[in-house]
Amino acid sequence: MTSRSQPKIGKNVVLNGSRLGQYVHLGDEAILEEVDMGDYSYTDGHNKINYATIGKFVSIASYVRINPGNHPTYQRIAQHHFTYRSSAYGLGADDEAFFDWRRERHVTIGHDVWIGHNATIMPGVTIGNGAVIGTASVVTKDVEPYAIVAGVAAKPIGRRFSDALIERIERSQWWHWDHETLQQRLADFRDMDRFIERYL
């Protein structure tokens, strides 16, 4: 990787067991725990992302939470995290099985997804390529490719393109084009009709 393609990391970013692709940008105050983030994806800042695979060209606005922590509402008498983060209170070893539960409910986000400001993606959710997640939405169920969802809990409110066009975009897999190809075809990305005519 050239120095230009190296990830750009903002201030006070914490990375634990995470892998970042080329041209990734992480805004200030981001925390990533066991995250695999694809090329060209970015976070705008103040994000917390746990146990997730994020595709290429994903746009994550500020204050987005992905796979947030849960409390044992129904499984234990006490919901407080002293029951699983016990060492912080001098009560003994942490309950690793509690954290494994969230690891097993991995979040998967496709390519070219846009996640709006302050949205929350709950554990176990899969978001398809090209989807849009509205500002302040709480996503509790899988999102189809190119769907636009919003609300609490998030519901479909539209689709970006027709089924036929979605199928053609998916077949193109433009997100796997190399850097030089993206550079050569940048003008075509800025003109949808021309892009469709030339590559779909």
So which residues are the catalytic ones? 81
| Nearest alpha carbon to residue 102 among 159, 29, 150, 35 | 35
Separation CA 54–CA 41 (nearest Å): 8
Query: Using the 8-state DSSP alphabet, how is residue 186 labeled?
Result: H
At which residue do the structure tokens 């990787």 appear? 1
| Nearest alpha carbon to residue 117 among 100, 134, 104 | 134
C-alpha 162 chain-centroid distance: 24
Q: Which residues contact 161 (CB under 8 A, 6 or more apart)?
A: 130, 146, 169
Separation CA 193–CA 141 (nearest Å): 33
Report helix angle 192-199 to 163-172, nearest 10: 60
Query: Using the 8-state DSSP alphabet, how is residue 70 labeled?
Result: -
Task: Calculate the alpha carbon distances from 143 to 42, 111, 138 in Å.
Answer: 20, 13, 12
